[in-house]
Amino acid sequence: MSEIADAGRRKGRSLLDNPRLRAILVQSLLLIAIASLAWMLIGNVRTNLASRNIASGFGFFDVTAGFAISQTLIPYEESSTYGRAFVVGLLNTLLVSAIGIVLATVLGFAVGVARLSSNMLLSRLAGAYVEILRNLPLLFQILFWYLAVLGTLPGPRQSLSLAGEIFLNNRGVFVPKPLFAAGSGAVALAVVAGSALAIILAIWARRRRLATGKIIATGWITLALVLVPPAVTFVIMGAPLSFERPELKGFNFDGGLRVVPEFLALLFALVTYTAAYIAEIVRAGILAIPRGQTEAAYSLGLRRGLTLRLVVVPQAMRVIVPPLTSQYLNLIKNSSLAAAIGYPDFFYVFAGTTLNQTGQAIEIIAITMAVYLAISLVTSALMNWYNRRLALRER
């Protein structure tokens, strides 16, 4: 009888001392506590909103916005809805972020390689660029470009001109606006088809090089595939493209395409600031490659430029990509500083003007958080996919 009791006690102790059971119990209690706290907060918010007669919900998206936006990628008027303003601001943020990422990457790689140059002057200049721009606040740099550089440009009547087609003044950059006629869709299709063929050719040439060791020169063929089909289609379709030139009328330019100075100031600041950090990431990635790799390439007769492009940088990318992702995310989030100079990005249009006019603070803040989170997650997913591709190539 005592043996049965001892077995029961041992069984009870094993259930209570089971780490898995204990972990499930603790996590369940924590989940219940969080859900209860969330329910209390939601109830409190709803009670406070009702006591102040503040409407909740997302019906404001269909209400007329009543304010203008200086730069729009899609048609927008003051009579458009807040939903339309939401899309306009989001597109402006995506535009400055995408262009900024590309330019910052190119500039950052150039400066990072220059820092390792044997030319002392070039190396010191690149080092000074990194140390100065990296240690100045980004907001200061945005205001510098906007007030001290673009703000000091001449007025429209004294605009700086490039070939009489492009004009730069304190109101922005005015460039010819492309006008697409019937048949332009066929030209665009030819561009896509030619680019697809060029990509297929590059993949085939790379696989053949890995399989046989023979390098196939595809440069001129790729260039022909990208340029010839669109050019032939363009001629056959009767040149379905014209340009509307900007013309000075009165005190400002009319026609053409205007790039507002707020966009330029924000873009310049984001690119130069982020490139300083990318340059250090690139330098660290290159220095992480054993020197024996470079010496082996030199012994095979490869020049310095080819060694860097074919041997060093491909291996350094494994070190560069993870921190590079963080800089891309920082650039996207830092674009919200556009509010300081009035550039109509998503944060300025939606979390600023729309919030002030509608008073829908909870909904707008939640949407703003969700949008930036979604953009960051998509960017991270793309960079993680690229990072996995690099790992597979090494195997």
Contact partners, residue 333, CB within 8 Å, separation at least 6:
372, 376
Looking at domain 82-153+259-394, its CATH class is mainly alpha
CA 318 to chain centre: 20
Mean pLDDT lowest among 1-10, 137-146, 149-158, 206-215: 1-10
pLDDT of residue 348: 92
Contact partners, residue 67, CB within 8 Å, separation at least 6:
78, 85, 353, 357
Average pLDDT score, the chain:
86
pLDDT tens digits for 213-238?
Answer: 677 777 788 888 888 888 888 888 88
pLDDT of residue 2: 54
Average pLDDT, stretch 323-336? 94
pLDDT level of residue 54 (50, 70, 90 thresholds): low
Residues of the chain with CATH 1.10.3720.10: 82-153+259-394
pLDDT of residue 13: 55
Contact partners, residue 134, CB within 8 Å, separation at least 6:
273, 276, 277, 280
Beta-bridge partner residues of 178: 243
Average pLDDT, stretch 308-329? 87
The b-or-e profile of 232-255 (16+ CB within 10 A means b, else e) is: ebbeebeebeeeebbeeeeeebee
pLDDT level of residue 388 (50, 70, 90 thresholds): confident
Beta-bridge partner residues of 175: 257
- Between residues 245 and 280, which one has the greater pLDDT? 280
pLDDT of residue 223: 85
Listed in order, strand segments (DSSP E) in the chain are 160-162, 166-169, 172-175, 177-180, 241-244, 247-249, 252-254, 257-259
Look up the pTM and report it.
0.81
pLDDT of residue 162: 84
Q: Is the pLDDT of residue 56 over 80?
A: no
Amino acid at 234: F
Ramachandran region of residue 242, left (φ > 0), alpha (ψ -120 to 50) or beta? beta
pLDDT of residue 131: 94
User: CA 221 to CA 237: how far, in whole Å?
Assistant: 24
Q: What percent of the chain has pLDDT over 90?
A: 36
Q: Is the pLDDT of residue 98 over 90?
A: yes
pLDDT tens digits for 250-294?
Answer: 778 888 888 899 999 999 999 999 999 999 999 999 888 888 877
Q: How many CA atoms lie within 13 A of 56 on its CB side?
A: 14
Average pLDDT, stretch 364-372? 92
User: CA 259 to CA 274: how far, in whole Å?
Assistant: 22
- Beginning with the edge strand found earlier in the chain, give each strand of the sheet holding 160-162 in spatial order: 160-162, 166-169, 172-175, 257-259
**Vertex 296 angle, CA 292 and 302, to 5°:** 135
Average pLDDT, stretch 72-101? 93
Contact partners, residue 337, CB within 8 Å, separation at least 6:
138, 139, 142, 266
